[in-house]
Amino acid sequence: MKILYFAWLRERLNRSDEEVSPPPEVVTVSDLIDWLAGREEDGDLAFGKKSLIKAAIDARVADHSSPIAGAKIIALFPPMTGG
C-alpha cells in the first residue's frame, strides 16, 4: 500500500510518500501509525501526537479504528483548518 504524508508529518519524515507492506498484525489505522512510528528514529517525532493525526483510506476519511485491509492508499495528515 502507498502511504501519503502531509504537512508536518511530511516535514518531520522528510518524504511525501512511501510504499509499505505492514505485517499481518497491523489491521487498523491505529496499528499502522504505531508500526510506522516504531520503524525509524524520527518516528516518535513525527507520530508522537497520534491523537492529532487524521487519516483517509482510498480518499475517504477514516478514524483510527478503521481497518486497512485492501487499502491501496492511506493518507496521514494533521487536523485541517479553514481560511
Report, as an integer, the average pLDDT of 51-71. 97
| pTM of the entire predicted model | 0.92
Does residue 36 fall inside a structural domain? yes
H/E stretch holding 34 reads helix 29-38
Q: Strands 54-57 and 73-77, how do they pair?
A: antiparallel
Does residue 59 fall inside a structural domain? yes
Does residue 21 fall inside a structural domain? yes
pLDDT over 60 at 82, yes or no: no
Which CATH number covers residue 34?
Answer: 3.10.20.30
Does residue 83 fall inside a structural domain? no
Cβ 71 vs Cβ 82: under 8 Å:
no
Per residue in 3-49, pLDDT (tens digit) is 999 998 999 999 999 999 999 999 999 999 999 999 987 788 889 88
Does residue 82 fall inside a structural domain? no
Domain that holds residue 45: 2-77
- Report the number of distinct structural domains present in the chain: 1
